[in-house]
Amino acid sequence: MASKKEQQEKARREALMTEILNSWAMINRNFEWQDDANCKGLNDLFFFDRGANQKKIQTAKGICGACKVKGECLEFALENKFEYGIWGGKTPNERLLMSGLHSWNDSRDTI
C-alpha cells in the first residue's frame, strides 16, 4: 500500500497532467482507459520528442503489444493529433500515415 506522501504525490501529478491536457485544444478528452495501460508510470519511455533511438521505440512498442487498451490509446492520439511519443503501439510517423495527413502541421487548422 502506498504511503500518504506517495498518494499525495500521485494526486498532485494527476492534477497537473489533467490541467496540462485540459489546456490543449483536444477533441478526445476520455482519460479513463489510461489507468489500465501497460505503460502507466513509464512516461520517459513513451513520451519523447523527435529523434528517439530505435531501441527505445521497440521497447515501448513491445510494452504496447499486449496492452488491453491499445486501441483506445491509439484512438486518443489520432483524434488529438499527437505528434510525439508512442501511442497505441504506433510512432508519430505511423500515426501520420494512418491519419492521411502529409505533416502534423496540416492538422493545426482542424484543432
Sequence-ordered list of residues with C-beta below 8 angstroms from that of 111, at least 6 positions apart, any chain: 25, 26, 27, 80, 81
For the segment 86-107, the average pLDDT, to the nearest whole number, is 83
Q: What whole-number percentage of the chain has pLDDT above 70? A: 70
Mean pLDDT of the chain: 79
Sequence-ordered list of residues with C-beta below 8 angstroms from that of 61, at least 6 positions apart, any chain: 86, 89, 91
- Which has more pLDDT, 60 or 19? 60
Q: How sure is the predictor about 13, in pLDDT bands with cuts at 50, 70 and 90?
A: confident
**Which residues are registered as beta bridge partners of 87?**
90
For the segment 70-95, the average pLDDT, to the nearest whole number, is 89
pLDDT tens-digit profile of 24-56? 566 666 678 888 999 888 876 666 656 668 888
Cell reading at 79: 483524434
